[in-house]
Amino acid sequence: PSIVMWSTGNEIPQKTGRGDGYYIASKIASKIRSLDTSRPVTHALCSLWDNGEEYEREKAENDFPPSKMDYFALATAPTADTTDIIGYNYLEYRLEKDLERFPGRVIINTETFPLCAYTTIKQLLANPRIAGDYVWTAWDYFGETAIGHVEYYEKKGEFAWQYPYHIANCGDIDVLGARKPQSYYREIAW
């Protein structure tokens, strides 16, 4: 009863059709649907950060009006078309334009930043084709060291930081079960 949707992938580099990405997503979606027709199928897209050339093109075309398909929209459409609800990881800035570009698309925020809570909640309440908002993550965890770090300066080009970090530091609740400031912000936003 706790399964809401089935997912064919999360932030898969082949989401743009490189290799057999969308074909494999389509085969997985078909298999899922053959086993369970009661729940929708999703796939979580993210920015094209995992391919430098594609990422530069995505950024260059990010300001295209909704009447024009930008590179991201064209590149990810085949994968998105394999789903019932397409997931967006940290793509809240694309929601309004993509809902206009793809009139039949239902989108769910599969991962959002705590800082965007108010914005994503407003978008969710304003459009019935946005199916929900999920964060990464509710409870902090060991692994992906310091992806949610808080620093007064920007440290470029590093994903996992060294000592003194030992947890992800991105959860609304810390590893001991105490609420962190972003959990209060999310509560206020709701």
pLDDT at residue 149, rounded to an integer = 73
Burial (CB < 10 A; 0-12, 13-18, 19+), residue 58, is: buried
Alpha-carbon distance values, 10 to 43, 45, 119, 131 (Å): 6, 7, 23, 17
pLDDT at residue 161, rounded to an integer = 63
Enter the pTM of the model: 0.89
Q: Which amino acid is at 168?
A: A
Q: How many CA atoms, within 13 angstroms, populate the side-chain half-sphere of residue 106? A: 11
pLDDT at residue 115, rounded to an integer = 81
pLDDT at residue 9, rounded to an integer = 94
- Residue 41 to residue 81: CA distance in whole angstroms: 11
* pLDDT averaged per 10 residues, the chain (length 190): 92 85 93 97 94 92 91 94 96 94 97 88 95 90 81 56 77 93 91
- Residue 40 to residue 33: CA distance in whole angstroms: 8
Residue environment code for 107-124, b if the CB has 16+ CB neighbours within 10 A, otherwise e: bbbbbbebebbebbbebb
pLDDT at residue 103, rounded to an integer = 96
pLDDT at residue 124, rounded to an integer = 93
Residues 37, 92, 100: CA angle, nearest 5 degrees: 75
pLDDT at residue 11, rounded to an integer = 93
pLDDT at residue 84, rounded to an integer = 98
Alpha helices by DSSP H, the chain: 21-35, 52-60, 71-80, 95-101, 117-126, 181-189
3-state helix, strand, coil in the chain (%, to 5): 35, 15, 45
pLDDT at residue 185, rounded to an integer = 92
- Residue 121 to residue 109: CA distance in whole angstroms: 10
